[in-house]
Structure formats: structure tokens, C-alpha cells
Amino acid sequence: MLRSSGSFSAFGLVRRLAALLLLAAPGVVRAQAPRPAPTETRRYAIEVAGLRVGTMTATRQPQPGTTEVVSTLISDVQVTFLFYHLKIYYKVTNRVRGGQLLLSTVEAHTNQGDFSSRAEWLGDHYAIRADQYKHHYQATEKQPITYTVTDMFFGEPGPHATAFAEYFGDYFTVARAPDATYRARRDGREDEYRYANGQLTTLIKKNPLKNFVIRLLP
């Protein structure tokens, strides 16, 4: 009988220790919680006249425990034309909550100097200011911004007829062409977006001198 009692006591002790270990292991509880959506990344090569001159990277990162998403678009171009070295670096950062843009910032560094743009939601309107090379714009916008140029890197525009141009602080008009491409137009300029299976594969930024062609990297 003493052996049976001792075995029973030992068994009960093991059960209690196991329960304590489970309570002390936060990883066990976390493993059951839904995982946050993964970060999406798209990498592109920038070409001029068939030569690679830079890179472009688009990322979209859901913020854990919130409905916020942070997207970035980074373009880095460095190329020498004859005796001229061209440098263009800019970074767009968008913070979105529940599908609405809350804050967009653009920092640009070029041969001509450093520039910036900002659009911020202040509760009932956006304060927008763009101070870029040969482009200065200031405005307020009362309508919520729900689609931007950066979003075009993560899927086809579909029904969206406009895209907020973070760099300029205003809008591109967006139209689908018969050849299944999309053309974004603003102030006499045109960009052509080509998709395959819903993914942006080629972006052609048209220029009177030479087009910039942005191609998805494998």
C-alpha cells in the first residue's frame, strides 16, 4: 500500500510540474494565435537604353496587432552619361490604416539637391506639401486617399481611376488599355504598367530623351 501511495504522489507531482511548465512557456500560447500577414517585397531593375542603371524595391508590411500597413518604395539610380553623373535616390513611405492613407512621406536626394514631399491626414483633411526639383505644390484634400502609386506595385489597379502620386502630391489618372496594360497620366507625362497574373512585371516611365524601363527581377 505504501508503494501505491508513493506512486500516486509521484504521478500527481509530475502532473503539477507539467502544468506549471505549460503556464511558464509563453511560446505555447503564442503558437495558437494567428500569425501576422507576411511582408511582401518586389525587386526591380531600372534600365535606360538597355543598360541597367539602378534598382527599385517595393515592400508592404502589415503591422502586428493592428489594421495598419506600412509600404515603402525605394528607387536608387546612378549612371554616367558622357561626362555627366546622374544620381537619383528617393524613398516613399506610406502608413495606411483600414485602407486609408494616414501619412505619406517622400525623401529625395539628387544631383540638384535634397527634396521632400508630405501628405498627412489631420482628422478631416490632408495637409499636402511637395517641394521637389522644379515642382512645388501645396494643397488640402478632404476626400480620403485609398489608392496610391505605390499600391500599383502590388496588384492591378482594377476599378481605380486615379492613384495618388506621393512624389507630386496630386493624382495620376489611371486607365486600362486594350492590350491589358494600364496607363497613368499626369500633366503631359505617361507611365505604362504591365501585369502578368496580377503582378507588375514592367513599368515604362516615358521620357522625351530616353525611357526608363523598370523590370521585375526573378
What is the distance, to the nearest Å, from the Cα of residue 165 to the centroid of all Cα atoms in its chain? 13
Whole-prediction pTM:
0.81
Q: What is the C-alpha to C-alpha distance for residues 78 and 52, in angstroms, rounded to an integer?
A: 10
Per-residue pLDDT of the chain (218 residues; tens, 9 = 90+): 444 445 445 445 445 544 443 444 444 444 555 566 799 999 999 999 899 999 999 999 999 989 999 999 999 998 887 777 889 999 999 999 999 999 999 999 999 999 999 999 999 999 999 999 999 999 999 999 999 999 999 999 999 999 999 999 999 999 998 887 999 999 999 999 999 999 999 999 998 888 999 999 99
My answer on whether 121 and 75 are in the same domain is yes
What residues contact residue 118 under an 8 Å CB cut-off, 6+ apart?
103, 104, 105, 106, 127, 128, 129, 130
In this prediction, residue 85 carries a pLDDT of: 84
Q: Are residues 27 and 51 in the same domain?
A: no
- Residues 110 and 187 occupy one common structural domain: yes
Closest CA to 74 of 60, 87, 55, 47: 55
C-alpha cell at 14: 509530475
Q: Dihedral angle at the C-alpha atoms of 5, 7, 12, 15, nearest 10 degrees? A: -170
Question: What's the pLDDT at 36?
Answer: 64
120 plus 152 within the same structural domain: yes
Looking up cell 536608387 gives 76
The boundaries of the domain holding residue 65 are 40-216
Cell 507531482 -> residue: 13
d(CA 101, CA 123): 12
| Shared domain check, 77 and 28 | no
192 in the same domain as 153: yes
Query: Quick one: 102 and 175 in the same domain?
Result: yes
User: Angle 213-96-66 (CA atoms, 0-180°, nearest 5)?
Assistant: 130
Number of structural domains (the chain) is 2
207: three-class secondary structure by DSSP: coil
79 plus 176 within the same structural domain: yes
Q: Are residues 88 and 19 in the same domain?
A: no
Shared domain check, 75 and 28: no
Same domain, 75 and 162: yes
Statement to judge: residues 44 and 125 lie in one domain? yes
What are 110's three cell numbers?
Answer: 539628387
